[in-house]
Amino acid sequence: MTDITILFEDGEALVIDKPAGLPIERPRAGGRSLEDHLEDLKLGFQRVPVPVHRIDTDTSGCLLLARNPKALKRFNAAFEAREVDKVYLGVVAGTLDQDEGTIELSLAKISSAEKGWRMIPAKKGKPAVTHWRKLAVHDGRTLVEFRPETGRTHQIRVHALAGLGHALLGDPVYGDGRGAPRTMLHALALTVHREGKPPIEARAPLPADFAALGFSDHASGG
């Protein structure tokens, strides 16, 4: 059996608690990935489930998988129509003057030989909107709730740096990579609205590495 925790299950969907460090697709250099677990995640169904969206390798928490092609098509449409509510928790390397706000910064992809590719704020980029709220402060670090309206690549990571003035703790691309062994971002909750059916609702417990920094499930509203 798989060692991945299942947060929600019905005939067309699974939501799993993806461990930090587990890539969704197999890296070019090889190594383990979510693909190694998909056979176990069939759970008696004929087809292997398919990830509907992407979260970064370092990011832990809620990941939606479709159990058949029709469900995959509907869920993709729900993401496109912004009928999916996503809540993330991140630890930023600093303190914030405000308690809450909205970051609206369009994002574009750039690449260079030295640094590889990354996302940057750009007026001609794709629109990106993130709502945020300060939850707790400990040892000069802040636990922040992020509610992205859009789903751009690295959206929260760039918005944390450019919109809040502080990168996520441990982020090696948009920050200095120090303070944590991974980028401290967790997909806390996911809600997918469905016509004629109850919504898919899942919540992933706060990981141990967040607790080790002094933040609790209580601080996240859990």
Q: Which of 80, 89, 13, 7 is nearest to 51 (CA)?
A: 13
For the chain, give the mean pLDDT: 93
Q: How many domains in the chain?
A: 1
- 222 lies in a domain? no
- 219 lies in a domain? no
- 52 lies in a domain? yes
**CA torsion 87→88→89→91, rounded to 10°?**
-140
- 140 lies in a domain? yes
CATH number, position 115: 3.30.2350.10
Contact 104, 129 (CB under 8 A): yes
- Residues spanned by the domain of 138: 5-211
pLDDT tens-digit profile of 70-125? 999 999 999 999 899 999 999 999 999 999 999 999 999 998 777 788 998 999 99
- 17 lies in a domain? yes
Identity at 205, one-letter amino acid code: P
Active-site positions? Answer: 56
The span from the CA of 207 to the CA of 189, in Å, is 13
Q: What is the pLDDT of residue 222?
A: 55
The secondary structure of the chain in percent helix, strand, coil, rounded to multiples of 5, reads 15, 35, 50
